[in-house]
Amino acid sequence: MTATHAPLVAIGDLHGHLDLFERLLERIDREVPAARIVTLGDYVDNGPQIPALLDRLIALQAERPGRFFPILGNHDLALLRALGWPGDVPDRAWYSRWSGRYWNPGLGTPEAYGAHDLASFAAAFHAHHRRFLSDLPWFFDNGEVFCVHAGLDLGPIAPQRAALERKTLPIEPSFMPDALRDKARATRHDPDWERVVVSSHTHLPGQAIFSAPRRVCVSATSDHGGGLLAVLFPERRCWWTNGDEATEIACAPEPSG
């Protein structure tokens, strides 16, 4: 992989952990101040600082145009579907699915906004937070690194990219796009991909990242109490924090081949 672009840092699932994000951001800004940053989705659910985190991400978009690229995760899309996206009529079936399958006990997003059911959440969820999530792209692609929340299927990237660009939903209304939710894609990789595909989404027990010549998966550990990880490209240096200052940890180097 050639370094024709500025360094790129991919950060794993945030899940309302603004404090962890700030510790990583401090380390990145100190060591790689020109880096572009991609956050790999899942900003809501299971963490203590969801509204504050969304405010911070919105501010970073304004402060770092062309340098900060948040993408959408499956938890974020589940929230939007509960609110009726791509329309605006709240969806009780999706709210039930979201609350039953996505939240750690007692850590649902509505409670962070003082809401306890769909109607009160639809009224309480901040309009600028909804607009931010709705407007997020479903991938980031700079021609060398392709970031998506869960991963890609084997085969050419181009048609998968096109579906993500269109924000294509499955025909079955209760399903989630595989590129945003399929944990089996965490270690799936294709040697013929012309980019390195980068994702998070999946907790990899005992492993900071999965690394292959055309694939990196950053273990999603923030909502498991395991801290937050970031990987720098093209070097594949890895940083981790559990609330203290971010430290560099052993991370698989870029494989040969």
Q: pLDDT tens-digit profile of 128-180?
A: 999 999 999 999 999 999 999 999 999 999 999 999 999 999 999 999 999 99
- 257 pLDDT above the threshold of 80: no
Who contacts 219 (Cβ-Cβ below 8 Å, separation ≥6)? 12, 200, 202, 203, 204, 207, 208, 209, 210, 226, 229
Domain covering 8-249, topology: Purple Acid Phosphatase; chain A, domain 2 (3.60.21)
| 216-226: average pLDDT | 94
Residue 4: pLDDT band (50, 70, 90) is low
Residue 3: pLDDT band (50, 70, 90) is very low
| 245-257: average pLDDT | 71
- 1 pLDDT above the threshold of 80: no
Cα–Cα distance measured from residue 197 to residue 168, given in angstroms and rounded to the nearest whole number: 19
The alpha carbon torsion through 52, 56, 59, 61 (nearest 10 deg) reads: -130
- 2 pLDDT above the threshold of 50: no
pLDDT at 35: 97
C-beta of residue 231 within 8 angstroms of C-beta of residue 221: no
| 56-62: average pLDDT | 98
**Other CB atoms within 10 A of residue 95 CB:** 22
Mean pLDDT score of the chain: 95
Residue 83: pLDDT band (50, 70, 90) is very high
What is the model's pTM? 0.95
